[in-house]
Homo-oligomer: A and B are copies of this chain.
Amino acid sequence: MGFEFNIIGKDTSSFARLGKMVTAHGEINTPTFMPVGTQGTVKSLSPEEIKKCGSQIILANTYHLYLRPGHETIKNLGGLHRFMNWPHPILTDSGGFQVYSLSPLRKIHPEGVMFSSHIDGSKHFLTPQMAIEVQQALGSDIMMCLDDCTPYPATHDQTKKSLELTLDWAKLSRESKNSAHQALFGIIQGGVYPDLRRKSMEETVKLGFDGYALGGLSVGEPKEIMREIAKTITPELPAEKPRYLMGVGTPEDIVFAVSCGTDMFDCVIPTRSARHGLLFTNEEKIVIKNARWRDSDIPLDETCDCYTCKNFSRAYLRHLFVAGEILAMILNTIHNVRYYTRLMERIREAIKENCFTQFKNEFLINKGGT
């Protein structure tokens, strides 16, 4: 089955849109959020729990799976869906961002990037062609082109060179792809410079991909810059293709970016925060280890329908967290992932009802964000 994307609704007071993506492993309603399953598992959740949380698609990290257990191993075991028992859509990143953020040594060459493994220090050379080969072995539904993630800060000149390399690699990625049922997205770089973002966008779109991602954000730049780029670039991307804002973000950032026309998000925030005992609710962010919850018999969020909120008190969750119990990680992650999928459901509902701007304004005011 080929990849499809259809816009099925639009908000008239913003760029927000409602879409349906069709992949080889199922449909996805957009805007959507992808929990991060770095090593072939969304940390603390079984695939059954991920599905119960309402997630439609997860992200897996090519860099990690290439290093361990190895893409050939996974291929021989029937591909990533079967390996991790997640028969639903998977997007794999290209490894570019992880090489940038995790490798203790990284050297960029025109042909690819030399890096050392964060696990054992072994040296590897990743080319755009290899990134496709690895993702084809994993069998993900959506692949990403290898990109050179421009650091922040970087000069205009550095950024320009970096985006040109990303463009070269995008071309090579496109040419080396030979699997019909996997989609391939291009990544737009250009750092914090509007002219370079535009150039990157135009050239990437010229190459032609199944979808387009904004990369190189959430790398340390001020939030305002990220939002400004999302606001400027997103609406200009081809309307008929899915748009993906990589590595974003907080609930507020997501709501903002949806208003700019973004369809897809991924971020470690819900899962990582959960493991650190920071829990999202419609009222406030809860630091579960706080002594004020010691005797609290209420659920995290009265309005939430997740297993955690339906069955456990804040006092119990605090106890588990303070006692260092694994169940704390499990229950907290269930809640935060469900919070994110419910947020996306609310976003889709607001677009459908054509009241997204009102939803956004209320949401951002309540959260105190802008």
The residues of A with any CB-CB pair to B shorter than 8 Å are 39-41, 43-48, 68-69, 73, 76-78, 83-85, 294-295, 297, 307, 311-313, 315-316, 318-320, 322-323, 325-327, 329-331
A41-B327 CB under 8 A given contacts A78-B297, A295-B77: yes
Copies of this chain in the oligomer: 2
Contacts of A325 in B (CB 8 A): 39, 41, 43
Q: Which of B307, B318, B322, B326 is A326 in contact with, Cβ under 8 Å?
A: B326
Would B77 and A315 count as touching, CB distance under 8 A? Answer: yes
Cα(A283)–Cα(B69), bound, Å? 26
A297-B77 CB under 8 A given contacts A39-B323, A323-B68: yes
Cα(A49)–Cα(B163), bound, Å? 49
Q: Which of B73, B307, B315, B331 is A73 in contact with, Cβ under 8 Å?
A: B315
Q: Nearest 6 A-B pairs (CB), nearest first?
A: A41-B327, A85-B311, A44-B326, A69-B319, A39-B323, A41-B325
Q: How many whole Å from A225's CB to the nearest CB in chain B?
A: 34
Would B46 and A331 count as touching, CB distance under 8 A? Answer: yes
Q: Which of B76, B295, B307 is A295 in contact with, Cβ under 8 Å?
A: B76
Would B41 and A320 count as touching, CB distance under 8 A? Answer: yes
Cα(A312)–Cα(B312), bound, Å? 29
Q: How many whole Å from A273's CB to the nearest CB in chain B?
A: 15
Cα(A307)–Cα(B45), bound, Å? 13
Contacts of A327 in B (CB 8 A): 41, 43-46
Would B326 and A329 count as touching, CB distance under 8 A? Answer: yes
Closest Cβ neighbor of A65 among chain B residues: B319
Contacts of A69 in B (CB 8 A): 294, 315, 318-319, 322
Known: A69-B319, A83-B319, A85-B316. 18 other contacts (CB 8 A): A40-B319, A41-B320, A43-B325, A43-B326, A43-B327, A46-B327, A46-B330, A46-B331, A48-B307, A69-B294, A69-B322, A73-B294, A77-B295, A77-B316, A83-B313, A83-B315, A85-B311, A85-B312
Would B39 and A319 count as touching, CB distance under 8 A? Answer: yes
Would B83 and A46 count as touching, CB distance under 8 A? Answer: no
Cα(A76)–Cα(B43), bound, Å? 33
Cα(A296)–Cα(B362), bound, Å? 52
Closest Cβ neighbor of A39 among chain B residues: B323
Contacts of A76 in B (CB 8 A): 295
Would A326 and B330 count as touching, CB distance under 8 A? Answer: yes
Cα(A318)–Cα(B326), bound, Å? 19
